[in-house]
Structure 1
Amino acid sequence: MLAIFLKTLPFFALIGLGYGAAKTRFFTEEASAYLTKFVFYFALSAMLFRFSANLSIGEIFDPWLAAAYLWATAFVYGIALMVAFWRRVKVETAAIEAQCAAIGNTGFLGVPMLALLLGEAAVAPIILILSIDMIVFSSLLVILIEGSRDGRMSPGVLRTIGIGLLKNPMIVSISLGLMVAASGMGLPQPVNEFVTILGNAATPGALFAIGASLASKSAERLVIAGWLSFAKLGLHPLLVAVGTFLLFPVDPFAAGVAVSAAALPVAGNVFILAQHYGTSPQRVSASILISTVASIVTVSAWIAWVTGG
C-alpha cells in the first residue's frame, strides 16, 4: 500500500496547495470560481472529448459493469435514504444526503488521477461511471427534490433534467467525442494536439480547484457528515466490489477501476446542487471536507487492494 500511497500523494499535495492558496487569500473565492469554471468548461471537457474521440460506444458501454455499478450505487443510495428517513428528515434533505453517500468526485479527481495511476485503459470504465452518475443519479436527485416540493411529477421536472444534461459540458464533450469516433474520421492532427494541450491543464487545474473550494467549506454537522463520509469512502466501494467481483461477470480490470472510482470522496457538485435548492449545504460542505481529507488514506488503500499492491 505504501507504494500506491506515494503515487497518490502528489495528487493530494496539489489539492493541499490549492487549499493553502485559498485559505491565505492568495487565491480569492472569485479567482477559485473562475479557475473551476476554466477546468469544468475547457480543460476537463477537452480531456474527455479527446478520450471519447478515440473510443467507441462499444468500448465504453459494458452492460455488466453498468449493471454492477448501478446496483451497488442504488444500494448505497437506498441505505442513505433509509437512514435519513429514520431520522425523520425531509425528502429533499434525504436526497441530498443520499447523493453525498453515493456520488464521488469522478470528474475533477477520478478522471485525471485514475487515468494516470491505472493507465489509459481505465478511461472507458471511468467515462461509463461518470455518465451513470450524471445522467441517472443527478436526475434522480432533481426528481426527488422537485417531486417532493410539487407533490407530483410534472413536465417541468423532466424539462429541468433535460436542460441540465444538455448544459453539462462533460456530457456534451463525451457525446461529441463519441460522434467523432463513430464517424470513423478521427481527429485531425492540429485538433488532436490542441485538445491534448488544453486537456493536460485538467489534472493540475482540477486538483488545485478542489483544494481551493475546500478552503471555503465548514465542518459543521460532524456526526452526519462523518456517517456520509463513511458511506462514500467505505460502503460504496465495498458494494461496488461485491457487485463487480462477485455478482456480475465484470472484467477484473474494469472491476478494479470501478471500485477505485467508487472510493473517491464526495463530489463537489453536490454542494452546488444543495446551494441551488437551499437544502442542507452545511452538511454537504462538511461531508466534502471530511471525505476528501480521509480519502488521502482510503483511496490509496482501495487502489492498493484492487491492484494487488
Structure 2
Amino acid sequence: MLPIFLKTLPFFALIGLGYWAGRSRFFSAEATAYLTKFVFYFALSAMLFRFSANLSLAEVWDTRLIVAYLWGTSFVYGIATLVGFLRGLDVPTTAIEAQCAVIGNAGFLGVPMLALLLGPEAIPPVLMALAVDLIVFSSLIVILITVSRDGQASLRVFRSIAIGLVKNPMIVAITLGFLWSGLAIPIPEPMNEFLAILGGAATPGALFAIGASLALTSPDKLHIAGWLTFCKLVLHPLFVGFAALFLFGVDPFKAGVVIAVAALPVAGNVYMLAQHYGIAPTRVSTAILMSTAISIVTVSLVVGWVSTFPV
C-alpha cells in the first residue's frame, strides 16, 4: 500500500499545486480555461494518438472486457438513477447525478497515471473504458436531457450527438491513431518526437488544470456529493470488478485495469455538461472536489490491490 501511495502522491500533489494556484488567484479562471483547452485539444490528443498509433485494434478490442465494464457501469448508473427518482428529482437532474456516479477522470488522470503505475500493458484497457464512457454514456445523457425537455427524440438530437463525438478531440485522436496503425504506416522519427514532447505536457498540464478548476468550486449539498462520491469511488469499481472477474471471466490483469479506471474520481467533463445545460453545476463541482480529495487514499488502495493480479 505505502509504495503505491507514494507513487500516486506526485499526481495528486500536482492537483494540489493547481488548487493552490487557483485558490490564491495566481492562476485566474481565464488562465485555467485556456490551460484546460491546451491540454484537451493538443497535449492529451497527442498522447492518445501516439498510444493508439502504436497499437493495433486487435490488441485493444476485448469483447468480454467491454461488456463487463458496460454491465458494471450500467448497474451503478441504474442505482443512482433509482435513488434520484426516489428523491423526487426530475429526469435531467437525475441523469446528471447518474453521470457523476459512473464517469471518472480517465482522460486527464487515468491514462497517464495508470500507464505509469500498471505499465504500458494497461493502456489498451484504459482506452477501451475511455471510449465506452465517451461514446455510450456521454451520448446517453444528451439523449435523456434533450428528450425530457423536448418531449421526444428527433433527428436533431442524434445529429448533435454525432457532431459532438466527431468534435471530441479524444475520440478523434484515438480513432486516427488506430487508423494509422491499421494502415501499418510507420511514424516518422521527427513526428514521433513531436508527439512525445507535446504529449509529455498532458500529464502535468491536466493535473494542474484539474486542481485549478477545483479551486473555483464553492461546496454545496455535501450529503448529496457524499452519496455520489460513494457511488463513484466504491460502488463503481465494486460492480465493474464483480462483472469482470466473476460474470464475464475477463483476463485478470485487464480486469484489474478497468477496476482501477472505475475507481477514479468524477470527471471534469460532467461539470462542463451540467454548466452547459444549467443543471445543478454546483452539486456536480462539489462531487468532483470531494471525490478527488478522497481518491488520494482510495485510488492507492485499489491500484495496490489490482497490481497483485497476474499479467
Q: Show the counterpart of 1:164.
A: 164
Q: Residue 113 of structure 1 aligns to a residue in which SS?
A: helix
Q: CA deviation at 1:59?
A: 1.0
**CA RMSD, 1 decimal:** 0.8
Residue in structure 1 matched with residue 228 of structure 2 by the alignment: 228
CA distance in 2, matches of 1:102, 1:148: 21
Partner of 1:282: 282
Matches for 1:1-309 after TM superposition, within 5 Å: 1-308=1-308
C-alpha displacement of 1:188: 1.0
User: Deviation of residue 122 (structure 1)?
Assistant: 0.6
Report the Cα offset of residue 282 of structure 1: 1.1
Deviations along 1:144-174, one digit per CA (max 9) or x if unpaired, are 0001001111111101100100100000000
Amino acid across the alignment from 1:98: A
Q: Following the alignment from structure 1 to structure 2, what is the Cα–Cα distance between the partners of residues 106 and 94?
A: 22
1: CA distance, partners of 2:136 / 2:25? 37
- Deviation of 1:104 after TM superposition, in Å, equals 0.2
SS of the aligned residue for 2:220 comes to: coil
Preserved contact between residue 81 and residue 95 of structure 1 (Cα < 8 Å): yes
Specify every segment of 5 or more residues in structure 2 that has no aligned partner in the other structure, as ranges.
none
- Give the CA deviation at 1:210: 0.5
Instruction: Measure, in 2, the Cα distance between the counterparts of 1:226 and 1:34.
Output: 30
Q: Deviations over 1:173-213 (max 9, x none)?
A: 00110110000112111111110110011111111110000
The alpha carbon displacement at 1:308 in A equals 2.9
- SS of equivalent residue, structure 2 residue 25: coil
Measured against aligned partners, the alpha-carbon deviations of 1:251-285 in whole angstroms (never above 9, x if no partner) come to 11111100000000000000000000010111101
TM-score (norm 1): 0.99
Alpha-carbon shift at residue 217 of structure 1 (Å): 1.1
Helix, strand or coil for the counterpart of 2:282? helix
Offset, 1:67: 0.4
Give the aligned length. 309
Which string of whole-angstrom CA distances, capped at 9 and with x for unpartnered residues, describes residues 39-77 of structure 1?
Answer: 000000000000000011111111000000000000000
1:55 partner SS = coil
1-structure distance, mates of 2:258, 2:120: 14
8 A contact 1:18–1:208 mirrored in 2: yes
SS in structure 1 opposite 2:187?
coil
- Which of structure 1's runs of 4+ aligned residues deviate more than 2 A? none
Shift of 1:30: 0.6
Deviations 1:11-40 (A, max 9, x none): 000000000011101111111111100000
Letter in 2 for 1:280: A
Distance, in Å, in 2 between the alignment partners of 1:219 and 1:65 is 36
Report the alpha carbon displacement of residue 114 of structure 1 after superposing the two structures with TM: 0.6
Counterpart Cα distance in 2 of 1:66 and 1:215: 35
Secondary structure of 2:36's counterpart equals helix
Residues in 1 aligned to 2:111 and 2:38: alpha-carbon distance in whole angstroms: 16
Distance (Å, rounded) in 1 between the aligned partners of 2:72 and 2:24: 40
Letter in 2 for 1:169: P
SS of the counterpart of 2:17?
helix
Kept after mapping to 2: 8 A contact 1:76/1:236 = yes
Over residues 73-111 of structure 1, what are the superposed CA-to-partner deviations in whole Å (9 max), with x where a residue is unaligned?
Answer: 000000000000000100000000000001000000001
Instruction: Give me the whole-angstrom Cα distance separating, in 2, the residues matched to 1:123 and 1:280.
Output: 33
Work out the CA distance in 1 between the residues paired with 2:254 and 2:131. Answer: 15
Post-superposition offset of 1:307: 1.5
1:218–1:289: 8 Å Cα contact kept in structure 2? no
